[in-house]
Amino acid sequence: MTFTKNSLSNPKSLLNIVLLLGFSLLVSNASTAQSLLIKGQTTGLSDSTKVSIKNMDDNSPVLTAYTSENTFSFQVNPAEEADKYLLRISGMESNWYRFFFVEDTDITIDARDQKYLENVPITGGEMQGQQTDFMAWIAPKKHLHDSYKAEYSETKDPNLKQKYGSLYWELRTEDKVGFIKEHPDSKYAAYLIEELSMNLSNKEAQDLYDGLSPVVKNSKYGKRVARYLNLSQDMIPGAMAKNFELNNLKGELVEFDSFKGNYVYLDFWASWCGPCRKQHPGLLELYERYNQKGFEIVSISLDFDETKWRKAVEQDKLIWTNLVEPEGTQGDVSLMYKVQAIPTSYLIDPEGKIVASYFNGRHDLDERLATYFPEN
């Protein structure tokens, strides 16, 4: 802003300048008020360690920061009602991640002297406080959680890895169900029902939902659980896979039932999901080996950003059918197939029946395909 000598000597001009400056300050303060600070502390990590967060409830990109003198920070927009964010810190058990919630309050992440992200204290906001209540509620079993997780991370034996992974998730499910039943007035309890959707039958989820208070049922996550219960089905072996239509890379609608007659690996992923993309080389090998014998892969991206989806498909050489669910985990197809975290996948037989489900890995897929398509 430039002021002339005449403008400074003219009382009317001076009044306009004062008003303009006041307006500028208001705009500046309003702009500042529109963002929140997420600040974190670490120990034992080198400077320039990568930290990333992702708002799972909108189409904003992954945000990245790098540690400096054991600190990091982000600026994010406030949420009307508890947006869920995913947190990853490189060097902290890279196979694990952490969810936290952003409302209208600054967030503090204290990752000092912590091995697992799951145990990191995060404070700020009502929903985040309720998550902290949950962590305190399960604290008596923390030693079991950590021992199962350590065994899972350290063993090279795939059978033991599956054993300890199963024990860990069984314990986590038991803890979450117990918390939901004892805290019907907690909005975090509604979130936990949504999170558990992959592990619970629809009846079990409905019973937990019915026990929530009216206020919680009317909350953001309470409404999401109600919608999920309306759309989903039990995705167990023997159940028929639901038909749907989604757009492919050419913008054409593809009907899932058109793949009947083949074994189909239905895979939910996203360009920003590291564990998902690590599976692609192995899937490509299986596809090239068995496709001519009747094996198809249908990948459904949960990307909000179509450009990033297309780029990832090209980079990872995904030569099979690629579809996109534009509403992410809250899209109809994601809810039908109980997708609350990725990678999530299903193996479906030629009749359209579910044979197996896979969460965070393809586990016995290789062995199953070798059985279905034996070498001559």
Question: Cβ distance 147 to 179 under 8 Å?
Answer: no
With cut-offs at 50, 70 and 90, classify the pLDDT of residue 330. confident
Both tokens assigned to 21: 């400056």
Of 21 and 81, the one with more pLDDT: 81
**Which fold, 36-137?**
Immunoglobulin-like (2.60.40)
* DSSP code string of 329-346: GGSHHHHHTT-SSSSEEE
Beta 36-42 vs 107-111: how paired, if at all? parallel
State which amino acid sits at residue 336.
Answer: M
Q: Looking at domain 245-372, does it have CATH number 3.40.30.10?
A: yes
pTM of the full structure:
0.74
pLDDT at 309 over 90: yes
* Sequence ranges of the domains in the chain: 36-137, 144-231, 245-372
What confidence tens digit (pLDDT) does each residue in 8-53 have?
444 444 444 344 444 444 444 443 448 899 999 999 888 999 999 9
Ramachandran bin of 114, using left for φ above 0, alpha for ψ from -120 to 50, beta for the remaining angles: beta
With cut-offs at 50, 70 and 90, classify the pLDDT of residue 67. very high
Of 96 and 227, the one with more pLDDT: 227
Note the pLDDT of residue 156: 79
Output the CA torsion sign for 42, 46, 48, 51.
negative
**59 CB contacts (<8 Å, ≥6 apart)?**
304, 305
How many other CB atoms sit within 10 Å of the CB of residue 168? 19
Q: Which of 2-6, 78-82, 169-173 is predicted most confidently? A: 78-82
- Name the least confident of 115-119, 124-128, 295-299: 115-119
Among 62, 70, 130, smallest CA distance to 100 is for: 130
Q: Give dist(CA 120, CA 72) in Å, integer.
A: 15
